[in-house]
Structure 1
Amino acid sequence: MRHVHFPAQRVARTAADSSRAALPARRLGDKARWYLPAAVSADFLGAAVPVGLVFEAAQQVRPVYCAVGAALAWTGVQAMRRRYASRVLGESRGVLPVVHDWLILIGVLAVARVVTGENTPRLSALGALLPALLITVACHKLTYRHLSAARREAHAVSRVLVIGEPDAAETVIAHLAARTDHPYVVVGVVPVGAGSMVSGVPVAARLDTDMPQAPHGDSAAVLGAVASHHADLVLVAPGVRIGGERLRRVVWALHDAGLELAVFPGLVEVSVKRLETLTAGGLAVLRVAPPVSRGVQTVLKSVLDRVGAALGLVVLAPLFLAIFLGIRAGSRGPAFYRQRRIGRDGAPFVMWKFRTMVVDADARKSELSAANENDGLMFKMRRDPRVTRVGRLLRRTSMDELPQLFNVLAGHMSLVGPRPPLPEEVAQYDEVELRRLTVRPGMTGLWQISGRSDLSWDETIQLDLQYVDNWSFTSDVDVMGRTLRAVVDGRGAY
């Protein structure tokens, strides 16, 4: 893949935060104290109040007892699922895990209903529990936004000390610096062997190339580095010079001191759902499951695509007519625009869109090549002079993409997937970029909900590969839910 250029402000964040290592008075890893009481209160009251009101209206004999029972059951399910753990509070989990917990609650209360002989109408009882789901989701969104804002200011983060050979350590540091959707801030590095460090992160200590003769040599150096930089976590990038017996002694020393250690296995953008830890002859083995390519989930995806596209075309027919008339009235030319794109396994197809540009837009593209604002193979301009007035509105709301429902219905595209590239773009793809063509392209995907045209080419490819390797049916449902917010927000749509 092409060399990745990390955003300067994000790299600066890691280097600047490292200077705060000498400030031990306040633990930057602590989250806001109100997260836990807010989560418990929202869950308890979100279940108790609606259930109490509905059961009172239904003239149930013991509405208060039922309300308290439902609230205790909901908070109990959340506690058993470890939703109140400090490491979980405020973190983004999406809507689906909450729905899963809620379905467990329904099962628990269904059993309780049979045992107690409670006879409130089933639909009323189910409707009384729906606010608990919505309020819990809203509370998660609130704490997630607060935590994200805090982390942008380098608060509520974990101070990390990286250990590894210089090149490996630089790779880990650069990757963490390029993203802000994680709690790690590197405050120091312990290189193994000679070699310069260019990241700007302070070198807290340096280990010899070979294992020291003194059994506690490495341990003392690492523990000293942790103490001097007040690190919460030690992250090891194993290599030829640090592994096996040497790494085991460092682990012993850190654990004896009550400190945490994590090992970076060299994998990037692999979902934890695909990872499984095994042991073989005393060796710790990390198994990586292959991406989902067949089975029930792929059948469900196909059904969702075809049914969703058919329903969408029926429901949106009046909107299609209004857009059609608006385009024809705004500029001369057809209302629809057809373009040759590349689909799954490199198969070409004709993609449909509402026309948002002047008729001769393709002929004028070469004239604007010098004004391309994308750093990769795609052509993007914030103020493209070829876009019509109606087209600007359609792009802002993503309604120009709606005719692709025909492509989904025909099986050329999916509702969720990487964006379909142009043939001239694919002609310049390297081996890594070609991997995004192993699945059907989609109307929406990680690209659309993560910034769209504001993303760099490398970020776009990274998101596409993340989708290809970690796809699941539930992740598709989650992306479709988050797409609505991205469309309303309009960030990166031009």
Structure 2
Amino acid sequence: MSISDVPGARTSRGEIEEKLLGTSPADGVADPVRRERLLVPRQRNSLGFAERTPAWQRTYVLKVVAVDALAAAFAAFVGFFARFNTSPANLETTSGRAVVACAVLLPVLWVVAMGALRTYEPRFLGVGSEEFHRVLTAALAFVALVGTTSWAFDLEIARGYVVVAFPIATLLTLIGRYALRQQLHAQRTRGEAGQTVVAVGHRAAVAGMARQLHRASYHGMRIVGACVPGGRGSAAEDAELDELGIPIIGSFDEVRHAVTSVDADVVLVTASPELDGPGLRRLGWELEATRADLLVAPALTEVIGPRVAIRPVCGLPLLHVERPELTGVRRLAKTTVDRVAAGTALVVLSPLLLVLALVIKFDSRGPVFFKQQRVGKDGKTFPMFKFRSMVTDAEKLLIDLRDATDGNGVLFKMKVDPRITRVGRVLRRYSIDELPQLINVLRGEMSLVGPRPPLQKEVDEYGYDMRRRLLVKPGLTGLWQINGRSDLDWDESVRLDVRYVENWSFTFDFMILWKTAGAVLRGRGAY
């Protein structure tokens, strides 16, 4: 299938070549002036906008700027009342007027500081932790600059005002950006505010990337075409991509033309032996005159965040991969935090747990707790506790329900399971039935965050990669909890657990705990 055959293509193959290379089908001679223009990189303005930046992207950045300015303005006036117990208009002393001037300038200077640390660049907005990391860095740098300037020029800026205003500005900025991010994710889930992608690589790699992007729709990246070795092949070769609705619009030598034909925002290159360093460099040069960004997916997968850093060696951008933090002082600290938090939670929640126990007892016959053997760290089994949410003979009834499973190939799941009690349905929807697992955390058998605690029959089917889940304690919550819960298939749940093991950190745990609250309240995938 040639580029000109692509549905919705804006121009034919010949027109594309004429536009990009300065040739015409008649003479086939390139205009050297137009070809020179092709090699001129796109320019960006102070907010990081490239030419022809999508309207939604510009709007989103302006919203972020407005949120930052409002956060700083609100913090400035709160600082006044907290420090001086009056409004700015009532401060008539010289030092008071200096503070007023700082308060008026704070929103402007705050936005400038955020811009200086490149927190408004679209590539940092909407996903990942880099945006928030840069906001915190900019805030700390701004406070340090204010302190240094005050000392150098002998300015009398009230320290109490600084102590109140700047933490509030930082907190409100983070909250405001998080709220905007959630709004953006909702838009992307509806198919709006996204980026069109041309994927470059072998067919299997492109198909795998397409599935991952579909699962993580909040990233807003949609593959609209693929460039594969040799271009369009036989029906059997292209069956997987055809099933995913991804047209093959060129070969590795036609990426630039393909990008123009579909007006793509991003070129995503998967790991391919044909696209080595020089090949990628030339591809980057060819894309400089287009509006498409170049992203390269390394062959190393499921390793993210602090473990990966780029180390330049002889002009080569080498990926330095740190060892995962599976032992040592940080693991001991995690265990300590887990037990202290679990013990505190059990004490605080004890009245609620007592009420739930009584409700379960009165709702149906049987014990309050359900105890089941699960596999923990290093393959050791332990009794995991849950509030009983099913009838007492649930295991016997399971035999008759095997054919009605909605599960993921290994585990039995039913969206409407007749074995679940009335109270149990509510407990499961909001994961309340899992609260007794705090006892397991207190006993050191589980962690607050970790892989899903597996059954022995699951572990019996583990391959080498899957067994890495057993290097850490299973968790009360984890990546599976915030990414679909029971709606996940078997392979995806295992992949998420391995990702957690490979990338554990306190920051990662905090992020998962934060997102768990929202996932539980929404109740999606819980049955």
AA paired with 1:341?
R
1:185-234: CA deviation from partner (whole Å, max 9, x where unpaired)? 22332222374323133333335xxxxxxxxxx4xx43333322323333
Counterpart for residue 471 of structure 2: 438
Compared CA separation, residues 226 and 33, structure 1 to 2 (3 A): closer
Counterpart for residue 136 of structure 1: 173
Counterpart for residue 115 of structure 2: 79
Distance apart, 1:342 and its partner CA: 0.4
AA paired with 2:193?
A
Q: Please give the alpha-carbon distance, in whole angstroms, between the structure 1 residues aligned to 2:260 and 2:165.
A: 52
Distance apart, 1:308 and its partner CA: 0.5
Q: Please give the alpha-carbon distance, in whole angstroms, between the structure 1 residues aligned to 2:423 and 2:471.
A: 35
Distance apart, 1:438 and its partner CA: 1.5
Compared CA separation, residues 361 and 306, structure 1 to 2 (3 A): same
After the TM superposition, which of the residue ranges 443-452 and 59-68 deviates more from structure 2? 59-68
Counterpart for residue 127 of structure 2: 91
1:362-405: CA deviation from partner (whole Å, max 9, x where unpaired)? 33222222222112222222222222222222222222111111
Distance apart, 1:38 and its partner CA: 2.2
Q: How does 1:212-231 map to 2 (within 5 A)?
A: 218=253, 221-231=254-264
Q: Please give the alpha-carbon distance, in whole angstroms, between the structure 1 residues aligned to 2:110 and 2:495.
A: 38
1:39-62: CA deviation from partner (whole Å, max 9, x where unpaired)? 222222222234324414524634
AA paired with 2:478?
G
**Higher CA-based Rg:** 2
Q: Is residue 205 of structure 1 aligned with residue 250 of structure 2?
A: yes
AA paired with 2:62?
P
Counterpart for residue 157 of structure 1: 194
Distance apart, 1:467 and its partner CA: 1.0
1:143-177: CA deviation from partner (whole Å, max 9, x where unpaired)? 32332244345443333323334444444444434
Q: Please give the alpha-carbon distance, in whole angstroms, between the structure 2 residues aligned to 1:364 and 1:290.
A: 46
Aligned partner (choices 266, 287, 301) of residue 254 of structure 1: 287
Counterpart for residue 46 of structure 1: 71
After the TM superposition, which of the residue ranges 160-169 and 341-350 deviates more from structure 2? 160-169
Distance apart, 1:442 and its partner CA: 0.5
Q: Please give the alpha-carbon distance, in whole angstroms, between the structure 1 residues aligned to 2:289 and 2:132.
A: 38
Unaligned runs of 5+ in 1: 1-17, 208-217
Aligned residues: 462
After the TM superposition, which of the residue ranges 245-254 and 356-365 deviates more from structure 2? 245-254
AA paired with 1:135?
L
- Alignment RMSD, CA only? 3.2
Q: Is residue 33 of structure 1 aligned with residue 58 of structure 2?
A: yes
Equivalent pair of 2:119/2:131 in contact (CA under 8 Å) = no
Q: Please give the alpha-carbon distance, in whole angstroms, between the structure 1 residues aligned to 2:270 and 2:158.
A: 60
Displaced runs of 4 or more, over 6 A? none
Counterpart for residue 35 of structure 2: none
Q: Please give the alpha-carbon distance, in whole angstroms, between the structure 1 residues aligned to 2:386 and 2:141.
A: 42
> TM-score, length-normalised on structure 1?
0.83
Equivalent pair of 2:374/2:381 in contact (CA under 8 Å) = yes
Q: Please give the alpha-carbon distance, in whole angstroms, between the structure 2 residues aligned to 1:118 and 1:95.
A: 30
Q: Is residue 466 of structure 1 aligned with residue 499 of structure 2?
A: yes
Equivalent pair of 1:49/1:67 in contact (CA under 8 Å) = no
Q: Please give the alpha-carbon distance, in whole angstroms, between the structure 2 residues aligned to 1:126 and 1:280.
A: 43
Compared CA separation, residues 388 and 239, structure 1 to 2 (3 A): closer
Q: How does 1:328-367 map to 2 (within 5 A)?
A: 328-367=361-400
Q: Please give the alpha-carbon distance, in whole angstroms, between the structure 2 residues aligned to 1:205 and 1:375.
A: 36
Equivalent pair of 1:327/1:390 in contact (CA under 8 Å) = yes
AA paired with 1:34?
T
Higher relative contact order (CA 8 A, sep 6+): 1
AA paired with 1:314?
V
Compared CA separation, residues 290 and 150, structure 1 to 2 (3 A): same
Q: How does 1:335-484 map to 2 (within 5 A)?
A: 335-484=368-517
Q: Please give the alpha-carbon distance, in whole angstroms, between the structure 2 residues aligned to 1:100 and 1:310.
A: 34
Compared CA separation, residues 459 and 33, structure 1 to 2 (3 A): same
Equivalent pair of 2:309/2:319 in contact (CA under 8 Å) = yes
AA paired with 2:72?
A
Q: Please give the alpha-carbon distance, in whole angstroms, between the structure 1 residues aligned to 2:130 and 2:426.
A: 29
Distance apart, 1:328 and its partner CA: 1.7
Q: Secondary structure at the match of 2:518?
A: helix
Distance apart, 1:95 and its partner CA: 9.6
Compared CA separation, residues 166 and 373, structure 1 to 2 (3 A): closer
Equivalent pair of 1:165/1:241 in contact (CA under 8 Å) = no
Counterpart for residue 224 of structure 2: 187
Counterpart for residue 235 of structure 1: 268
> TM-score, length-normalised on structure 2?
0.78
After the TM superposition, which of the residue ranges 378-387 and 105-114 deviates more from structure 2? 105-114
